[in-house]
Each structure stands twice: as structure tokens, then as C-alpha cells.
């Protein structure tokens, strides 16, 4: 990936779209975009392989805004991030398949409540790569609450319309976000590089 980023940055520098002052910021942004595309593509492949495309699409639609606004634990490397994302998604799909038609309404409610409580208590959680100043902390706190409210509305609406697996998927996104916040807070307390 570094070679690809180097090639893109060289082209951008040569054509004057980027200068030396902002090259590092642009490179970091490109790296994030490429990682998100790679992970999203891999998640869709896993969804197709496990016959869970609707559930994965709902999970991704709810999880992405929650994670980007709430923060939480981040892996130390791109490879670890990739594999932990795929493992997390596979665990969510497996949970949905095991729970479906076995009281999924209760699991959905439990996951929503647990995840929401964790988010309300912990969000936002910053990392060494993205420390918050006092203004950012207030802004991301507000955004995390809005994203959580949206997730609750989406999951509830799906349940009301009888789409229990999709409601469960959305609730898993809320729960996983809460878990990532707790893991991020723990890593920050231990002084670990997250």
C-alpha cells in the first residue's frame, strides 16, 4: 500500500494539486480512504459468502457513523485493522444467525440498551492519532449522541416493520461501538498505543 500511496502522492505533487506543506495530511487522508474501501469491499465479500448481505449493509450503515463520531479502540497497524474488522463482522453475522427466531427481539433490546449505556457513559474516546481538544470533545460528544439516537430509531423502525434480523444487525452495531469505546478507554488508561 505504501508504494501505491507514494505513486499517487508523486502524481499529485507533480501536477500541483498538493504542496510540500500539506502533503503529509493528504497522504494520511488517502490512506484512510483506501483502507475504508478495502475493508468495505472485504466486508461485502464476507456478506455474500455468508449469505448475509442485507444484515451486513445495515450493520455497516449504522456502525460507520457511530464509530467515526464516538471514537474508540483502533488497531496498531493496517493489517491488524483489516483482520479485526473482518473478525468483528464475522462474529456479528454468526450471532445474528444463532439468535434469529430465538427471542431476537429481546437480544435486540438488550444489545441496544447495553451499547447505548456504554456510549452515553464513554463517548467520545480519542486515540493517540486523533487526540481531542476541549472544543472537539464537545462537538464529538454531540455527534455521538445524534448518531446513537439515529441508530436507535433505525433499529426500532426495523423491528416495528418486522425485519428482526436487520433490527438485530443495527443493535449489534450499537453494542460493538460501545465495546470499542470501552476497549479504547482501557487502552488509553494502560498507556498503550492504540
pLDDT digits (tens, 9 = 90+) for 89-143: 999 999 999 998 777 899 999 999 999 999 999 999 998 767 889 999 999 999 9
In whole angstroms, what is the distance from residue 9 CA to residue 175 CA? 38
What's the sign of the alpha-carbon dihedral 159, 163, 168, 171? negative
In angstroms, the Cα distances linking 160 to 67, 70, 156 are: 25, 27, 6
**Residue that is written with C-alpha cell 423491528 in the block:** 159
Peptide bond before residue 124 is cis, with ω within 30 degrees of 0? yes
Q: At what angle do helices 134-160 and 164-190 cross, to 10 degrees?
A: 160
Is 157 a residue whose pLDDT tops 90? yes
Distance spanning both ends of the chain, measured CA to CA? 21
CB 67 within 8 A of CB 177: yes
151 CB contacts (<8 Å, ≥6 apart)?
62, 65, 66, 170, 173, 174
CB 96 within 8 A of CB 164: no
Prediction pTM value? 0.86
The tens digit of pLDDT for each residue in 10-50 reads 888 888 888 888 888 888 889 889 988 999 999 999 999 99
Amino acid at each position: 500500500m505504501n508504494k501505491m500511496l507514494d505513486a499517487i502522492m508523486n502524481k499529485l505533487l507533480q501536477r500541483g494539486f498538493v504542496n510540500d506543506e500539506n502533503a503529509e495530511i493528504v497522504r494520511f487522508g488517502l490512506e484512510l480512504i483506501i483502507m475504508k474501501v478495502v475493508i468495505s469491499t472485504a466486508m461485502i465479500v464476507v456478506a455474500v459468502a455468508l449469505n448475509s448481505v442485507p444484515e451486513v449493509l445495515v450493520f455497516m450503515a449504522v456502525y460507520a457513523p457511530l464509530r467515526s463520531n464516538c471514537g474508540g479502540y483502533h488497531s496498531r497497524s493496517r493489517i491488524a485493522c483489516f483482520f479485526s474488522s473482518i473478525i468483528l463482522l464475522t462474529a456479528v453475522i454468526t450471532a445474528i444467525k444463532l439468535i434469529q427466531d430465538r427471542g431476537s427481539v429481546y437480544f435486540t433490546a438488550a444489545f441496544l440498551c447495553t451499547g447505548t449505556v456504554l456510549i452515553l457513559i464513554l463517548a467520545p474516546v480519542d486515540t493517540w492519532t486523533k487526540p481531542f481538544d476541549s472544543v472537539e470533545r464537545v462537538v464529538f460528544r454531540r455527534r455521538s449522541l445524534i448518531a446513537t439516537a439515529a441508530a436507535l430509531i433505525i433499529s426500532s423502525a426495523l423491528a416495528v416493520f418486522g425485519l428482526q434480523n436487520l433490527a438485530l444487525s443495527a443493535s449489534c452495531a450499537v453494542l460493538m461501538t460501545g465495546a470499542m469505546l470501552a476497549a479504547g478507554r482501557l487502552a488509553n488508561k494502560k498507556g498503550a498505543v492504540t
